[in-house]
Structure 1
């Protein structure tokens, strides 16, 4: 990994960081799935917020919001995953995802999953290259016309 890059897993957020996260969410997802301040706080306190940081930049270059599946305790669920719009196309998503895999393996997860908009071709390709497969298509997952691929990756023997 680039020596100027590092991983940070905040356990709480300052008001400035919370505002920054809301702005990054809007940048990444617009009105189509961005998490508000209440959701971000819940993720930080009850899941994991994972940042890929670059020295000299006060905002993360990539973000992963991670939760545990309640019904299948060895399944980690990526609630949100994105690279800042001004940093896309530089391999940051792959770098962060590899760190996420390491973290969830350390926490004894055997699978990891996520949902992604089928029209988000770049994200779907990244996830497929990282070993995810489409397990199902969820019609109207986030409302009428808001379909998602549900993608899963086994971490066993990987």
Structure 2
């Protein structure tokens, strides 16, 4: 089940931090990031038997309030390759497009072939390559999804 997190609950935040650390290590979000994003952005989770197994966060672009920027997506190791992340992406994107958002942007490691393929299947297009986006050797592809290009 995919749901939007609208209130800060310690247990949920703790689980999201765990998940972020599992997937991204030191680059994952912590409670200092997640609490403001829950309060001021959009955080969606997918659960299995009441346990959060995936999370995705978005924030609005101040220069274009119809653009949501996808901060990150994380899915537990044991749930990868089962369509969990795709289901979470589709549902969250659908909910954003139903609520005044007309474009979604993200960056992804160009070497993350699986993620790039999933994003392209949903209708995202590569619009830019950013060399050293997060420091030396951390290049990123910028991908954008227009509302009319979404393939649910």
| Superposition TM-score, scaled by structure 2 size | 0.91
- For residues 137 and 61 of structure 1, the distance between their equivalents in structure 2, rounded to whole angstroms, comes to 30
* Structure 1, unpaired ranges of 5+: 1-5
Which of 15, 20, 31 is matched with 1:20 structurally? 15
Bigger strand share: 2
Matched, 1:34 2:34: no
Runs of 4+ in 1 over 6 A off after TM superposition: none
The superposition leaves residues 50-74 of structure 1 with CA deviations (integer Å, 9 ceiling, x where unpaired) of 01112x242x222110111111111
Q: Counterpart in 2 of 1:156? A: 148
Q: Counterpart in 1 of 2:89? A: 97
- For residues 104 and 43 of structure 2, the distance between their equivalents in structure 1, rounded to whole angstroms, comes to 15
Q: CA deviation at 1:121?
A: 1.4
- For residues 102 and 22 of structure 2, the distance between their equivalents in structure 1, rounded to whole angstroms, comes to 31
SS at match of 1:8: strand
1:66-85 correspondence runs (5 A): 66-85=58-77
Bigger helix share: 2
Q: CA deviation at 1:146?
A: 1.2
**Number of matched pairs:** 150
Matched, 1:51 2:29: no
The superposition leaves residues 5-56 of structure 1 with CA deviations (integer Å, 9 ceiling, x where unpaired) of x12212223222222111100111112x2112111111101101101112x2
SS at match of 2:134: coil
Q: CA deviation at 1:84?
A: 1.4
- For residues 149 and 50 of structure 1, the distance between their equivalents in structure 2, rounded to whole angstroms, comes to 23
| Superposition TM-score, scaled by structure 1 size | 0.88
* Structure 2, unpaired ranges of 5+: none
